[in-house]
């Protein structure tokens, strides 16, 4: 599959800026914080536009920020020992990720790459740990993230072993409609067939066939520039016997 083109003349950190009010409104966990904690988080938050193909996080680099997607689509991936690329998940709007790495202050064991122009927010590792030390609502949010992410990755292992392309597309697509991890998606995901192909590891043509099959089954609706989920439970269990 053709690789994404990378265009990054100016480093990400040099392009970062203070978020606007509308962008802050899209960060759901802020609303649950106490006033002092929210003020600290907002003062530390930065946003940056990541170009298609550009890496936000790179294997072996230390985690310095905890990130979330305000708009766009990211891909979490790595290479196997044989040098074969493997995609763990996509990260659509509303998704925050990497809390496990930030908590342990480790280096990244995966790459995060933009599949399209994406607006990403981040708070520093120091502020993340400051909130962990004092904010019960923040702790609850992070704990829920970790729990839901664990379930997502268990499901991803099952998807990797599927030989049915339609089932792979269905289950991978269902993961992007996760209401807890990705509350910004709702029922309509802005994604192209090429982008979905990058996430699933299939050609755009094969993804197209799978999507039309799912639409015929009444599971999704194909709309201009995106996909609307009509039956999330059926999408999640596509390909399961019984």
- Span 73-106, pLDDT tens digits: 999 888 655 555 677 788 999 999 999 999 999 9
The reported pLDDT for the residue numbered 2 is: 44
What domains sit in the chain, N to C, each tagged with a CATH number? 12-156 (2.60.120.10), 164-236 (1.10.10.10)
Burial letters 191-214, b for 16+ CB under 10 A, else e: bbbbbbbbbbbbeeebbbebbebb
Residue 239 pLDDT > 70: no
pLDDT tens sequence across 128-182 = 999 999 999 999 999 999 988 887 776 666 666 667 888 889 988 888 888 889 9
Q: How far is CA 215 from CA 102, 114, 170, 229, 234, in A?
A: 39, 27, 11, 9, 12
The reported pLDDT for the residue numbered 61 is: 95
Residue 48 pLDDT > 90: yes
């Amino acid at each position: 599959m053709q690789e994404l083109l990378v265009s990054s003349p100016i480093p990400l950190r040099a392009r970062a800026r203070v978020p606007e009010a509308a962008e802050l409104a899209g960060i759901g966990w802020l609303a649950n914080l106490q006033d002092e904690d929210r003020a600290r988080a907002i003062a530390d938050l930065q946003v940056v536009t990541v170009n298609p193909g550009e890496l936000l996080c790179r294997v072996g680099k230390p985690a310095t920020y905890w990130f979330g997607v305000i708009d766009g689509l990211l891909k979490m991936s790595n290479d196997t020992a044989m040098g074969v690329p493997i995609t763990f998940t996509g990260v659509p709007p509303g998704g925050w990720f990497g809390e496990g790495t930030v908590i342990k202050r480790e280096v990244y064991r995966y790459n995060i790459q933009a599949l399209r122009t994406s607006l990403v927010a981040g708070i520093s590792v120091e502020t993340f740990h400051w909130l962990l030390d004092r904010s019960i609502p923040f702790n609850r949010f992070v704990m829920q993230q970790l729990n839901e992410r664990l379930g997502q990755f268990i499901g991803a292992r099952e998807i990797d072993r599927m030989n049915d392309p339609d089932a792979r597309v269905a289950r991978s697509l269902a993961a992007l409609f996760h209401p807890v991890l990705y509350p910004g998606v709702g029922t309509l995901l802005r994604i192209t067939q090429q982008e979905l192909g990058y996430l699933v590891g299939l050609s755009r043509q094969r993804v197209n066939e799978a999507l039309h099959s799912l639409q015929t089954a009444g599971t999704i609706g194909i709309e201009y520039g995106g996909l609307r989920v009509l039956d999330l439970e059926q999408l999640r269990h596509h390909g399961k016997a019984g």
